[in-house]
Amino acid sequence: MVRRHYGRHFWLIALALLTFALPAFAQDGSIQGIVKDAQGKPIEGAKVTVELNGSGRKFETKTDKNGEYLQVGLVGGQYQLTVEKDGVGAVKKTVMVRAARRNGFDIVLAPGATGDAVDPATAALNKAFDEAIAASRAGNQDDAITKFEAALAISPKCADCYYNIGFSQSQKKDYDKAEVAYKKAIELKPDYADAYAGLANIYNAQRKFDLASEASAKATQLNASAGGAAGAAGGGSADSLFNEGVILWNAGKIADAKKQFEAAIAAKPDHADAHYQLAMALVNEGNLKGAATEFDTYLKLAPTGQYAAQAKALVAQLPK
């Protein structure tokens, strides 16, 4: 009798949270490559600095014995990539990092090397783009859109410009204009996984779950095709799999959502939010002990995370 009430109590909690669950479209990317000398030999110990234009956000790493470097945890945008080593040379170049995938840039480091020459039109495009990114990050979406449109006037086929206009419009909740911009980015670059993820985001916000699921699945497929971290563990990045799970969850397809959360965890065992959502799916199944384990895992990974208070309240009442 008590146990039946207990299980039903948590079922109702889970359904309540189902109504308010929202996607968290995390889109961290990475940058990697090989640094070689003029003869094609790998250079060990070269310093690699990765700086997001207009933000002051900077990362540093070094090449290993094979000349390889890797920096993870990058948001999409334009970066200054600087590679240097005393007695060998230094190179600085502007690169575009796409989120939710590994972006590859090999570097030849030799005496006198300075990086890529930039023509005036490219310099103007880079300036407009950097200013637009800075405005967007500052929350000035109207200004960002104006500056991205200025970049488009210089380079009409700038898919990244359309993508970022879509993002800014989505932040304004002008979903119709965001949809147009994202679709234009895809028209110019059919394999633009981030643009499909953007579409999934705005469709989900409008409760157009079938369209959201379709767009999210396409983003996952493209990320998997890109290989590297984005294609690890079963056909997509952990974030893409998680996002697709959230869309299915919001559509009430709990069993399908659970599979996506499990796949996200297989791809990235420390994906805290996936553990939390899996716990909620297990609650809906009535597997309370399994849910308690997943809530515990979430709290270990994210003790001050966005769901920490809910997880603590629930795990205190669940059987271990």
Give yes or no for residue 40 having a pLDDT over 80. yes
Task: For residues 271 and 260, give the distance between their C-alpha atoms in angstroms, rounded to a whole number.
Answer: 12
Q: Which residue has the tokens 């600095």?
A: 49
Assign 306 a pLDDT band (cuts: 50, 70, 90): confident
Taken in order 253, 242, 78, 226, the sign of the CA dihedral is negative
175 and 260 belong to one structural domain: yes
For position 217, which CATH number holds? 1.25.40.10
Quick one: what percent of the chain has pLDDT higher than 90?
A: 27
Give yes or no for residue 26 having a pLDDT over 60. no
For residue range 117-145, list pLDDT tens digits in order.
555 676 777 778 878 888 888 889 999 99
Please count the structural domains in the chain: 2
In a domain, 261, yes or no: yes
Assign 25 a pLDDT band (cuts: 50, 70, 90): very low
Confidence (pTM): 0.58
Task: For residues 89 and 58, give the distance between their C-alpha atoms in angstroms, rounded to a whole number.
Answer: 21
Which residue among 80, 108, 136 closes a domain? Answer: 108
42 and 12 belong to one structural domain: no
- Which of 106, 34, 100 is CA-nearest to residue 67? 34
Taking all residues of the chain, what is their mean pLDDT, rounded to a whole number? 79
Beta-carbon-side half-sphere exposure of residue 267 (alpha carbons within 13 Å): 27
Residues in the chain: 320
Which residue among 82, 108, 134 closes a domain? Answer: 108
Least confident of 22-26, 209-213, 217-221: 22-26
In a domain, 114, yes or no: no
In a domain, 308, yes or no: yes
53 and 193 belong to one structural domain: no
In a domain, 275, yes or no: yes
Please, is 176 exposed, middle or buried when counting C-beta atoms within 10 Å of its C-beta (0-12, 13-18, 19+)?
exposed
307 and 167 belong to one structural domain: yes
168 and 207 belong to one structural domain: yes
Question: Do β-strands 58-62 and 107-108 pair in parallel, antiparallel, or remain unpaired?
Answer: unpaired
Give yes or no for residue 114 having a pLDDT over 70. no
Predicted pLDDT of residue 55: 66
What residues form DSSP beta bridges with 36? 42, 108
Give the mean model confidence (pLDDT) for residues 267-276: 90
Give the mean model confidence (pLDDT) for residues 74-102: 78
Predicted pLDDT of residue 234: 36
235 and 138 belong to one structural domain: yes
Which residue intervals of 138-271 are DSSP H helices?
A: 141-154, 159-171, 175-188, 193-205, 209-226, 232-235, 238-250, 254-267
Give yes or no for residue 5 having a pLDDT over 60. no
Q: Which residue has the tokens 């990244």?
A: 160
14 and 37 belong to one structural domain: no
For position 75, which CATH number holds? 2.60.40.1120
Which residue among 87, 108, 129 closes a domain? Answer: 108
40 and 53 belong to one structural domain: yes
**8 Å CB contact between 243 and 277:** no
Give yes or no for residue 101 having a pLDDT over 90. no
Give the mean model confidence (pLDDT) for residues 70-94: 82
In a domain, 113, yes or no: no
Predicted pLDDT of residue 89: 80
Give yes or no for residue 115 having a pLDDT over 50. yes
Assign 301 a pLDDT band (cuts: 50, 70, 90): very high
211 and 89 belong to one structural domain: no
151 and 169 belong to one structural domain: yes
> Which comes out higher in pLDDT, residue 231 or 188?
188
54 and 147 belong to one structural domain: no
Give yes or no for residue 53 having a pLDDT over 80. no
In a domain, 320, yes or no: no
50 and 100 belong to one structural domain: yes
Predicted pLDDT of residue 173: 93
Domain extent at residue 59: 29-108
Question: Do β-strands 77-85 and 68-74 pair in parallel, antiparallel, or remain unpaired?
Answer: unpaired
In a domain, 70, yes or no: yes
In a domain, 257, yes or no: yes
Task: For residues 297 and 27, give the distance between their C-alpha atoms in angstroms, rounded to a whole number.
Answer: 22
